[in-house]
Amino acid sequence: MASRHLARSIAMQSLYEWDFAAKEGDLKELVERNIQEFGPGLEDVNKDFIRTLASGVKERFADLNQIIEKAAPEWPLEQITIVDRNVLRLGLFELLYGNKDEVPPKVAINEAIELAKNFSGESSGKFVNGVLGTVYRELDSSQTSSS
């Protein structure tokens, strides 16, 4: 597994655990524990990437949830599985707030789809693709029209 993909997996697992526990507890502690458990050989740059993803999702939690609700109006947030919710939050964070030079939008989307397939299932990959694709098209058209 590539280092960046493993980093995203660890970030997603940490967010899943935090969300499952009703956002109680310290996300930073969960991240550090999961880095030790699942990423013992990761380079510091990838450990920092995990921390950036998890803390970024937490900081923009409400905004990311609103975007999901807007992009998937037929799916109330509570009805989306915990895995899929957190994959979407992670993918949206990278898509909207990440460094586009490091992670182009299509890479962020593809990585989120792979996480959904690996941790949830094939139909989850399609769902994540649909939601992130919708957001990406809206983002792309708003950037094109403002140019």
Our count of domains for the chain comes to: 1
> Under 8 Å CB-to-CB from 17, ≥6 apart: which residues?
30, 34
How far apart are the two ends of the chain, measured CA to CA in Å? Answer: 39
Whether residue 136 has pLDDT greater than 60: yes
Residue 56 is part of which domain span?
3-146
Is the torsion defined by CA of 28, 13, 89, 113 positive or negative? Answer: positive
Closest CA to 106 of 98, 127, 57, 69: 98
pTM for the model: 0.93
Structure confidence at residue 7 (pLDDT)? 97
Structure confidence at residue 2 (pLDDT)? 79
Work out the angle between the directed axes of helices 82-97 and 122-146 (0-180°, nearest 10). Answer: 30
Structure confidence at residue 1 (pLDDT)? 53
Structure confidence at residue 147 (pLDDT)? 53
DSSP state of 121: -
Q: How many other CB atoms are there within 10 angstroms of residue 48's CB atom?
A: 12
- In this prediction, residues 91-109 reach a mean pLDDT of 94
Whether residue 146 has pLDDT greater than 80: no
Structure confidence at residue 144 (pLDDT)? 66
CATH of the domain at 69: 1.10.940.10
The 10s digit of each residue's pLDDT in 27-77 is 999 999 999 999 999 999 999 999 999 999 999 999 999 999 999 999 999
- In this prediction, residues 126-131 reach a mean pLDDT of 96
Structure confidence at residue 121 (pLDDT)? 85
